[in-house]
Amino acid sequence: MKRSTLRLGSTLALVLLLSGCATVRTLNAAKPGAPVVYSGTRLDWYSLNGGCCPLDRFGAEPPRHAAIDLPASALLDTLLLPFALAAVLGIGLGVSGGL
């Protein structure tokens, strides 16, 4: 059981590092009017369905292997959903980063 969990975690980390997580790309793009809720999942799905202009719509290029990145982006988007909803609703959470 532990071995399979470790293998799954390692595989997930590898996918995120190699393919360039779409969620991180879209949230880092900060394009006005771009989708915020499930943005990485939507970018992957858009790419898989032959979307023509991801830079115009999302402010970021999709990962090379969007099908591989899709489950990881869906997971990360789900974890970040409360923050995305707060941003869409204009609720300030007072969260800041950096040192």
Report the sign of the C-alpha dihedral through residues 13, 51, 89, 38, in that order: negative
What are the domain boundaries of the chain? 12-88
pTM of this prediction exceeds 0.85: no
DSSP 52: S
Residue 30 burial (10 A CB sphere; 0-12, 13-18, 19+) = exposed
Task: Give the tens place of pLDDT for each residue, 61-72.
Answer: 888 888 888 888
Among 77, 66, 69, residue whose Cα is nearest residue 27: 77
DSSP 20: T
Quote the tokens at residue 61.
Answer: 């290029």
pLDDT, average across residues 73-85: 90
Task: Give the tens place of pLDDT for each residue, 26-72.
Answer: 877 777 888 889 999 999 999 999 988 888 888 888 888 888 888 88
